[in-house]
Amino acid sequence: MAPDPITLELYRHRYSGIAEEMGITLQRTSYSPNIKERLDFSCALFDGSGRLVAQAAHIPAHLGAMPDSVAAALAVFDRWRPGDVVILNDPYFGGSHLPDITLVSPVFLDETHHEHSREGDASAAERAVSHSSPSAPHFFAASRAHHADVGGMSPGSLPLSTELYQEGIIIPPLKLYEGGELVESLLELILRNVRTPDERRGDLAAQRAAHAVGDRRLHELAARHGSAELLAYAGHLRQYSERLTRAAIRNWPDGSYTFEDPIESVVEGQTTHAPIRVTAAISGETVTLDFGGTCPSIYGSLNAPLSVTRSACYYVVRCLVGEDVPVNAGCFAPVQVDAPAGCLVNARPPAAVAGGNVETSQRITDAVFGALAQALPDRIAAAGQGTMNNCTMGGENADGSPWTYYETLGGGMGAHPQGDGFSGAHVHMSNTLNTPVEALEMAYPLRLTRYHLRRGSGGAGTHQGGDGIVREYEILRPTTATILSERRAIAPWGLAGGDPAAPGRNLLIDTDGSEEELSSKVTRRMRPGQRLRIETPGGGGWGSNS
């Protein structure tokens, strides 16, 4: 039966509203500033077959890859019970990089008991006893949160690694809860391998609380409208999104468009360029993104698993088809992503991937936009800052307790055919907030001595690229600091004759005021009184001034 258009729109917002409420719960109940303040997490709903139903407007780098996480959980477990929660972070088994821990839990709809109507605060675990012989799950709730430390060779778990084992604890799909009962031995194993176990325990509990909200809201909808209607409209929404996406691509000019954009690989202090090459082939109502010609995996942490590459590609297409298309599995159906096995954007274990999710994903995005700009010159902006400017630090507080800090920093957005780019923004695959100065200084032995826009760093043109920022930290306790950044040697490009933006800079300022320029990837042991200044890139300009 054809769906009712008004009901279809209602379900679009019902499902996305549930995902948003899950996110609010995760934020408010989390422990770490990275999740509570920066909102470095994502929440989504999937159907019983693992197809994306709805997502909140959270982190693009997370959400395009989360279907692989759910698929990995379904590949391992074929029997589910209410109260089950699967945990995973393995980049080669549904994950992205190790700090991103994903939880997946089933939702069983039982209209006959109406537990949610009678007990609005009941959790899935508390209701598990009422389901003696559950069938297959109707839905899955999923969340992915960036945990500020999961072990590894440096605080913050974004090290200058050369193999995956150096980056932290690797968690394949395992049940953290079985039928609502915590598998305490697994949790203790995880916590023993991280620097800040209390914070990790709290953030995992916050993710589970978010799932309980998703479970409860789906039960409330089922009690009101019936599970059959919920399932039917999940399918209708998927088909609707696919039709709209295909219709949008049909308006793009057929052809094959190639673009290459390198990343900055640093080995033993020497910077080399590792090219990412993509060909966008538009044919009718489909687009294929082929990364043939991309360099092989490199000796360092910038390798990306295919799930991250798909995520970046889906994000670009999603930007171009328009906001009216509901985000679900239907959006991805007309998009094919191909990459040679073992290349930089389809890495194989045990290649290091800590930077692939945060930095290479940004370059993949730039490359795909660069290719499609040849087909859609009036739709696409110049390159943004092209990096997340990852900064991780850690050490011991005065009382001996451990601390770890992680943050991505905003920069310039590229100018576009309609106007200037934004300044000081998290561009493309990040979409987080900053850590407020007050929250940072209260939580960590750090002091912010500078925080302002980097005036003039945007590229010139008919439309000006956005400016980057300057953020300077004074170290108050002995600290290990790691910077994982890009666009320090290769500037963000302009379009249509616009100028490139200023590349970024990383500086160490000693107690005597002397400055040392650091490379784009660096780890340093820092003393109290030293300062670390990060100057982020601007965005490219659009259009010639001449």
| Residue 100 and residue 307 in contact, taking contact as beta carbons nearer than 8 Å | no
Structure tokens at 196: 């800040």
Give residue 136's Cα distance to chain centre.
29
Predicted confidence (pLDDT) per residue in 149-185, tens digit = 999 999 999 999 999 999 999 999 999 999 999 999 9
pLDDT at 416: 97
How does strand 100-107 pair with strand 85-88? antiparallel
| Confidence band of 51 (pLDDT split at 50, 70, 90) | very high
Concatenate the DSSP letters of all residues of 108-122 into one string: ---TTT-HHHH-TT-
pLDDT at 124: 46
Residue 247 has pLDDT above 80, yes or no: yes
| Confidence band of 266 (pLDDT split at 50, 70, 90) | confident
What residue type is assigned to position 216 of the chain? R
**Among residues 65, 28, 20, 26, which one has the least CA distance to residue 45?**
20
| Residue 237 and residue 326 in contact, taking contact as beta carbons nearer than 8 Å | yes
pLDDT at 63: 65
Predicted confidence (pLDDT) per residue in 19-39, tens digit = 999 999 999 999 999 999 998
Structure tokens at 363: 């370059």
* Strand (E) or helix (H) holding 483: strand 479-484
pLDDT at 125: 43
Q: Tokens 């009712």: give the residue.
A: 4
**Among residues 340, 384, 357, which one has the least CA distance to residue 63?**
357
Compute the distance between CA of residue 520 and CA of residue 185 in angstroms, rounded to an integer: 39
Q: Which of 166-175, 429-438, 443-452 has the lowest mean pLDDT?
A: 429-438
| Residue 57 and residue 19 in contact, taking contact as beta carbons nearer than 8 Å | no
pLDDT greater at residue 272 or residue 128: 272
What residue type is assigned to position 486 of the chain? E
**Among residues 425, 408, 386, 397, which one has the least CA distance to residue 483?**
408
Predicted confidence (pLDDT) per residue in 375-422, tens digit = 999 999 999 999 999 999 999 999 999 999 999 999 999 999 999 999
C-alpha pair distances (Å), 403 with each of 432, 435, 478: 21, 15, 11
DSSP helix/strand/coil, 224: helix
Cβ-based neighbour number of residue 272 at 10 Å: 13
pLDDT at 127: 46
Compute the distance between CA of residue 421 and CA of residue 465 in angstroms, rounded to an integer: 5
Compute the distance between CA of residue 376 and CA of residue 179 in angstroms, rounded to an integer: 51
Predicted confidence (pLDDT) per residue in 482-540, tens digit = 999 999 999 999 999 999 999 999 999 999 999 999 999 999 999 999 999 999 999 99
Structure tokens at 366: 């730039």
Compute the distance between CA of residue 382 and CA of residue 285 in angstroms, rounded to an integer: 25
Concatenate the DSSP letters of all residues of 312-333 into one string: HHHHHHHHHH-TTS--SHHHHT
Q: What share of the chain is helix, strand, coil (3-state, %, to 5)?
A: 30, 25, 45
The stretch 437-466 carries a mean pLDDT of: 97
Residue 250 has pLDDT above 50, yes or no: yes
pLDDT greater at residue 57 or residue 51: 51
Structure tokens at 163: 């193999």
Compute the distance between CA of residue 251 and CA of residue 227 in angstroms, rounded to an integer: 37
How many Å is the Cα radius of gyration of the chain?
23
Q: Tokens 């729109």: give the residue.
A: 9
DSSP helix/strand/coil, 8: helix
pLDDT greater at residue 438 or residue 266: 438
| Confidence band of 433 (pLDDT split at 50, 70, 90) | confident
Sheet holding 335-338, edge to edge: 255-267, 270-283, 286-290, 335-338
Contacts of 141 (CB under 8 A, 6+ apart): 22, 43, 44, 45, 46, 104, 105, 107, 210, 211, 214, 215
Q: How much is the pTM?
A: 0.93
| Residue 101 and residue 191 in contact, taking contact as beta carbons nearer than 8 Å | no
Residue 363 has pLDDT above 90, yes or no: yes
Predicted confidence (pLDDT) per residue in 305-345, tens digit = 999 999 999 999 999 998 789 999 999 999 999 999 999 99
Structure tokens at 116: 């949610």
Q: Which of 53-57, 239-243, 367-371, 509-513 has the lowest mean pLDDT?
A: 53-57
Residue 59 has pLDDT above 80, yes or no: no
pLDDT at 114: 39
Give residue 373's Cα distance to chain centre.
24
**Among residues 361, 365, 342, 368, which one has the least CA distance to residue 288?**
368
pLDDT at 134: 58
Share of the chain above pLDDT 70, in %: 95
